[in-house]
Structure 1
Amino acid sequence: MGRQNTFDGLSEFLAIAKRQSVRKAALDLEVTPGAISQALQKLERRLGAPLFHRTTRRISLTEAGETLLAKIAPAAQLIETSLGETLQHSNEPSGTLKLIVERLALPHVIEPILPAFREAWPNVKVDITVSNTHGDFIADGYDAGILIGSYIAKEMIAVRLSPPFKWAVFGSPDYFMHNGLTSVRMSQNTRARHFHER
């Protein structure tokens, strides 16, 4: 025979005490009245005392039942409240969101939306690394990245965050004559900059 669970029968006992009816308690717990009665009988045998007076018309607590209810009802309410709070927290995003973003994304994407994001999700801490390098940022521990479209790996799931940008390079004719067009390429080894917002 398996070990007796301390809480066996208590939910049925509480439901009957609340509703003063086995049938109504069964509806609340979505089980049959027979299952409720069987659970109550097992609890009474375990405790060695009847918990309810039963007649054909009504059911009421015995002295032992009233004593038990007074002791466990507050604990049951606390458990129910705690479970509800935990469920609520689990439905709200929380924790740290680690992002790696292109420097260009700061003024055009991050700065415009960050205040609204922080207001909508106050339990989320945003940890941002600004870098123009394009490695495997998932392997580096980031949750997401904001990159220029041409640098996004094909296997990545991407969502457009801004209108297309047009690139332009400006310089004097003398500069290009002496340095050539290749000198205007942006270095991909730009040192990373890191900060975080709460």
Structure 2
Amino acid sequence: MRKETAADLVAFLVVAREQSFTRAAAQLGVSQSALSQTMRGLEARLGVRLLARTTRRVSATEAGERLLRAVGPRFAEVDAELEAVMALRDKPAGTIRLTASENAAASVLLPALEGFLPKYPDIKVEIITDVGLTDIVAERFDAGVRFGEMVASGMISVRIAPDARMAVVGAPSYFTERKPPITPQDLTEHDCINLRLPTHGGLYSWEFEKSGRELNVRVEGQLVFGTAGLILDAARAGLGLAYLTEEQVSGDLKSGRLVRVLGDWCAPFSGYHLYYPSRRQPTQAFALLVEALRYRGSANLSRNARRPREN
């Protein structure tokens, strides 16, 4: 295979996955016009059209999809082998791509990286925050971070945080004219701040458990957000009740900025875990990061604990 064909195939894979010449050009570090010319040249040499272009998006044709399925995994294998070869250097090196929720990145990953990165200056870590259930294999992430019971079967899972609990909270000003809910069913009479899940586009239902009784409540309210940070800000402003982890609201509860309700209905669940495919051959850099993140305290996992979907 000619050198220029290999480079053009790499460019094609990025365009097909991003479904955008603009995003692909930025990722490849080339101009959009140059990338478009490269794709036209590749299509001319192969004698088939690989990409269908519209004003809004770019999608692979039938021939393009076939090429993507055939060539994509092979280039991924080459990348993995190159990473493995780099791991043989005297100093661990390489780029590690992780996907995690905003809260997991802020409360678990960043504190660990503060001590980790200065020790290994040749290791780079890229963290993409997302509350959805990202397919780490398809999106070419090295690993993901989610609550323990959300990790799919077939994945290697490493606990990186203790058990967690959810908390229903509201500002004192919110309760000046409203009675605090006593049971989850009472939430139907309150303004609740909803979370939109990107994976399926639905609203997240709040999950509760008490004395073995489990309840899922689909709450209503005037506000819907896609991030926990905005939900917390809205709750602080007295705009409704929020459903967040204890860790996210602990400071506000201590200061009295927020008030907790339904605490007896929020059971503990398995905390954050790092997960990655079992068939993955970890590089030295990745193995070092896993050990740096590994939780070494007591899990105290409740046997009947339920987990919420991502937050």
Higher relative contact order (CA 8 A, sep 6+): 2
Higher share in helix: 1
* Shorter-chain TM-score above 0.5: no
User: What TM-score do the two structures reach when normalised by structure 2?
Assistant: 0.28
